[in-house]
Amino acid sequence: MSVFRRFYYWLPRLIRNILGPILTSIPFTFRCQQKRWIKDKYARFGLDQKRHIFMSIARFCNINRPMTGYYFEFGCHSAGTMRMAFDHSRYLFDWDYVAFDSFEGLPEIPDIDKQEIWVKGKLKTTEEEFWGIVVGHGMPPGKLKTVKGFYDKTLTKELKASLLPKKAVVVYIDCDLYSSTVPILPFIKDFLQVGTIIVFDDWYSFYGGPNRGERRAFREFREKNPELMFEEFVHTNEQGSFIFLGKKEAP
């Protein structure tokens, strides 16, 4: 680490917050190079991995056509994933898109989900902002539905009845936390059809351990529903996905 960088990190946070934006605009400084690398390399890699997931889904669904129904998305901050899902499905399929989100950011973080990156209120996009971004991207308003609120309150029998009997083609779960994932899985059970793909966006959070996050919630769901069969699908450095194969035949 250079002498200047050591001096910079030695400064009080308030001073660093003031200097940071200035330094990122000066060519050849570390902060400027860091900002460029994060944008051009680091962030682009993450987007490419997600595009790989959605192109894999498009090819799977087209090969196994007809695959009709809903695209469900749980956790919709910035509308980036919803737009990507639409871009990779609009020319081949006639799906309906349902966005489930608090539109208030993350809930209170319980002990089991505590990690430095998760903070109450983080990842907030308002419902109005979400609609504007998605419809502005080209999705017909009649193809989009939003369900606002935290999942333990909104995923009701009444909501399920209003969406059935149509099934889900894709269920994209991007809610980060074990506590948020738990109520989702029983809710989507009745929407599963042979070929439904479930994607967990944060499959490798919490160091990839099986006893926290989305991995734990899915494991417990499968233990409670041993008749449901799943096959592993595409995995990236962040996401994990599974194909629903149907129910085991009774002996």
Domain ranges of the chain: 50-247
β-pairing, 144-148 vs 228-235, is unpaired
107-154 pLDDT, tens digit each: 889 888 888 878 888 889 999 999 999 999 999 999 999 999 999 999
State the pLDDT at residue 1.
47
Task: Kindly write down the DSSP assignment for every residue of 3-16, as one continuous string.
Answer: HHHHHHHHS-HHHH
State the pLDDT at residue 28.
67
Structure tokens at 112: 């089991």
Separation CA 67–CA 243 (nearest Å): 13
pLDDT tens-digit profile, the chain (251 residues): 455 556 556 667 777 676 666 656 666 677 778 888 888 888 899 899 999 999 999 999 999 999 999 999 999 999 999 999 999 999 999 999 999 999 999 888 988 888 887 888 888 999 999 999 999 999 999 999 999 999 999 999 999 999 999 999 999 999 989 999 999 999 999 999 999 999 999 999 999 999 999 999 999 999 999 999 999 999 999 999 999 999 998 76
Separation CA 163–CA 182 (nearest Å): 20
β-pairing, 70-74 vs 96-101, is parallel
Helix (H) or strand (E) holding 113: none
The torsion defined by the Cα of 34, 35, 40 and 42, in degrees rounded to 10, comes to 60
Buried b (16+ CB within 10 A) or exposed e, 138-151: ebeeebbebbeebb
Fold of the domain built from segment(s) 50-247 = Rossmann fold (3.40.50)
State the pLDDT at residue 12.
73
Closest CA to 125 of 141, 152, 101: 101
